Amino acid sequence: MNGFYNVYKTPDMTSSDVVVKLRGILRSRTGVRFKVGHLGTLDPLAEGVLPVAVGSATKLFNYMLDKRKRYLATFVWGETTDTLDRAGQVTATAERVEDVERVSEAAIQQVGRIMQTPPAYSAKSVDGARAYQLARNGVEVALPPKEVTVYSIELVAHEANAFSFVIECSAGTYIRAICRDMAASMGTVGYMSKLTRTQSGEFALSGAVTLAQIEEDICAGYVSLADFAASLKCYNIDEQYRKHVENGVVYPMQIDQSYARIDVGGVPYAIGCTQEGVLKIICRL
């Protein structure tokens, strides 16, 4: 079994919990202990799309982490917590903001390439420890800002001081930090009350299934590596160069995205990328 599960992560578990549970389901159904890994952490209280790679598809991990993400997030103005979400302890209160124009202006300021400081309660590593572990122990951590890209923030609903947005952004963007920084630009505070990831790279909410559904049918939400590759841009190599590719001989090629399908003689062969103008095979089909 080599491919991906489009898992709908529920708010009652961590991303690591999903991996452990799915690995157990697959082992109980097939008798095989597959290599399993998720492709981008979701906060414990967040829900939605969590792509999970199985078998040789895990080799694509580093190449898929940079894919765009889309979220539906709800921010509440006038109160904040230590974790910047509804699970934390209230640490400050300020002006309730209910003006749509004011909020929209704050959202515009967050669009584009921005330097974003991760929340104290995050999975960032600090001297070998997770930032959230240090924060829980009362240790103040100064996390360095990181450049991220917010492609768009669209206001889709609001009620009183709670505003919901569709946000499209690069990997590594903290939605809680967008809430924090929007609030600061309005002279108030805020926290994220709900977060749903609706898209992660090629995986969308419409195709996501719960672990309970997978437990009933291990084909639910599964996309084989071959089917996944069929949706990718294709680069064909003439049959006469098959031995070169199979034996790892340097083959000049330029792929203009993070990865693509490589066909040899018109037949799907692998998923690959290029490094310094040379073909690199990531995983065979």
Residues serving a catalytic function are: 43
Per-residue H/E/C for the chain: CCEEEEEEECCCCCHHHHHHHHHHHHHHHHCCCCCEEECCCCCCCCEEEEEEEEHHHHHHHHHHCCCCEEEEEEEEECEEECCCECCCCEEEECCCCCCHHHHHHHHHCCCEEEEECCCCCCCCEECCEEHHHHHHCCCCCCCCCEEEEEEEEEEEEEECCEEEEEEEECCCCCHHHHHHHHHHHCCCCEEEEEEEEEEECCEEHHHCECHHHHHHCCCCCEEEHHHHHHCCCEEEECHHHHHHHHCCCCCECCCCCCCEEEEECCEEEEEEEEECCEEEEEEEC
The answer to whether 261 and 273 have CB atoms below 8 angstroms apart is no
Which residues have C-beta within 8 Å of that of residue 158, sequence separation ≥ 6? 98, 100, 103, 164
At position 280, the amino acid (one-letter code) is K
175: which 2 tokens?
Answer: 């939605």
* Residue 52: HSE in the Cβ half-sphere, 13 Å Cα cutoff: 32
